[in-house]
Amino acid sequence: MSAAVDTVVAVDGGNSKTDVLLLSVDGTILARGRSGPFTPQSTGVGHAADTVEAGVRDALGAEAAAPYADLLVAYVAGADLPAEEEALAAEFAARDLAGEVVVANDTFALLRAGASGPWGVAVVCGAGVNAVGVSPTGQVARFPSLGKISGDWGGGLDLGDETLWHAIRAEDGRGGPTALAGLVATHFGRDTVEEVVLDLHFGRLDRGRLLELTVGLFEQAAEGDRVALDLVTQMADEVVVMAEVCLRRLGLMEVPTEVVLGGGILRAREPLLTALLDERFGTRTPQAKPVVAEQPPIVGAALSALDRIGASEEAKTRLRAQF
């Protein structure tokens, strides 16, 4: 950076909420704020910028005015492509939110929060699935992460869809028997899976609630239901192959490398999924070191900001200790 930095705003913008930190260059958190979902893909870039400003004012007070800091580092959902990162950065800069603005996808925040340093691979599996990799020299490997059209599968919504698909086919005879039929009907308080399907069709049930089925899916898989086990196994394969591709692209297959696992599904540490992942990482990427992220992504955004300004390791340790 060309100018001295005294304060930094770090942002972790996700589909459910947006976290904001104001911190000093020595890693001390000066203020914390939170605002609503960061969803530029559905509400637009302007509304997304409003969300960030709302989070900053929650931290600094309603009377706070831009510029809020010398540097703004925002790791956010919906910035899946470089063009989307650039559009958001341009909007933040136009509002003069900080002297310098950096925007990147929120998966990079997971990587920095969970890894011991600024490089490695991260795989996030929550409602959706994504992965990124950064080499020791700064080379990046990433995916478009646009859903099924870009080859993605394995997030909670995908698992919910598949659970429902197998459940209705088991109930009406097109598919083989599976305990997932009873799971779906019982979870939503219906007598049949068909009632659930019709409620979804007529808008009486939010499709996003299919994400809730993942807990029961893992339970049925652990109890030996073949259909459920196949789905969980397929998900484990997807997580590992995303990490493997990042490692191959970056030339890290033979280098001991941390693979940070995050998102609600992977953070839950389901014993069956954990065992499947350990087996596959050990076979396909023996130099990979899987690590479940213990600290929230906002820590990764803040650490990346400290990396950028050349802060000391003491400052980074101080930041982590506050979480």
pLDDT of the chain, 323 residues: tens digit per residue: 445 679 999 999 998 899 999 999 999 999 999 999 999 989 999 999 999 999 999 999 999 999 999 999 999 999 999 999 999 999 999 999 999 999 999 999 999 999 999 999 999 998 899 999 999 999 999 999 999 999 999 999 999 999 999 999 999 999 999 999 999 999 999 999 999 999 999 999 999 999 999 999 999 999 999 999 999 999 999 999 999 999 999 999 999 999 999 999 999 999 999 999 999 999 999 999 999 999 999 999 999 999 999 999 999 999 999 99
Q: Which of 7, 5, 38, 6 is nearest to 22 (CA)?
A: 7
Largest Cα–Cα distance of the chain, in whole Å? 69
- 3-state SS class at 134: strand
pLDDT of residue 16: 86
80 close to 34: Cβ distance less than 8 angstroms: no
CA 56 distance to own-chain centroid: 21
pLDDT of residue 1: 45
Contacts of 44 (CB under 8 A, 6+ apart): none
103 close to 77: Cβ distance less than 8 angstroms: no
pLDDT of residue 204: 97
Tokens in use for 54? 């709302």
Residue corresponding to tokens 């239901």: 225
pLDDT of residue 2: 44
Task: Quote the pTM value.
Answer: 0.92
Distance (Å) of CA 13 to CA 37, 70, 198, 272, 301: 7, 19, 34, 30, 10
- 3-state SS class at 3: coil
pLDDT of residue 3: 55
Cis peptide bond N-terminal to 286, omega within 30: no
Dist CA 21 CA 37 (whole Å)? 16
Dist CA 294 CA 288 (whole Å)? 18
